[in-house]
Amino acid sequence: MKLQHRVRVREVTLLSDNWYTLKTTSFDWLRSDGQWQRMNRETYDRGNGATLLPYDLARRTVLLTRQFRYPAFVNGCEDLLIEAAAGLLDDAEPEQRIRAEVEEELGYRLGTVRKIFECFMSPGSVTERLHFFVAPYDSSMRIGAGGGLAEDGEDIEVLELSIDDALARVADGRIADAKTVMLLLHAQLHVFGAAQR
């Protein structure tokens, strides 16, 4: 049975349309045992996004960002977050959008970009699907200082780390952003690891 036949939406209420869209929905769900169950869920729709990890195989380095994240701060994070460059699609194609984000945040114009997968990052409440990319970089691709767009409230520091340092920061908790951890582990296995085989 198609999933759409197991969901009957009863009522959708808009709770907030301030920054993005927060709704509460009442729906009936057809359980595996054949019984219908009424459920209520809130969904936060901020649009879909893309993220990318630039890597330099010869130097065994990656480019990351460091910036303030208020939601992490109010949940006990006492430092700036180290992250892969990322952004919302805003009706653009994922590769087009992530290229622009890398230029804004990191200051690099990339050549070949490779999509590796896409994932829902917090499917219990957030609708966002994130497209993951990797790309080689070198110093000739640098076109600016990066740092993001001040008019968007961005105040981004660019970090160039060795892959070993980045993975050590994952292990000890200094890198705690899910998309970044996923990209670094992918790079360890399929980029830097593949180059050593």
Residue 84 to residue 34: CA distance in whole angstroms: 44
| pLDDT > 70 in the chain, percent | 98
pLDDT, tens only, 71-84: 999 999 999 999 99
66 band by pLDDT with thresholds 50, 70 and 90: very high
Amino acid at 100: A
Higher pLDDT, 168 or 149: 168
* DSSP conformation letters of 38-53: EEEEEEEE---EEEEE
Tell me the per-residue pLDDT of 99-121, one tens digit each, with 9 for 90 and over: 999 999 999 999 999 999 999 99
pLDDT at 122: 94
Q: Pick the range with the lowest mean pLDDT from 66-75, 88-97, 120-129, 150-159.
A: 150-159
How far is it, in rounded angstroms, from Cα 138 to Cα 41? 46
Dihedrals φ, ψ of 62, to 5°? -135, 155
pLDDT band at 153; cut points 50, 70, 90: confident
- Quote the pLDDT of residue 82: 98
Please state, in angstroms and rounded to a whole number, the distance separating the CA atoms of residues 36 and 9. Answer: 12
- C-alpha triplet 190, 195, 197: angle, nearest 5°: 95
Query: Do 93 and 101 form a contact (C-beta atoms < 8 A)?
Result: no
Q: Which residues pair with 13 in a beta bridge?
A: 24
Q: Is the pLDDT of residue 97 over 90?
A: yes
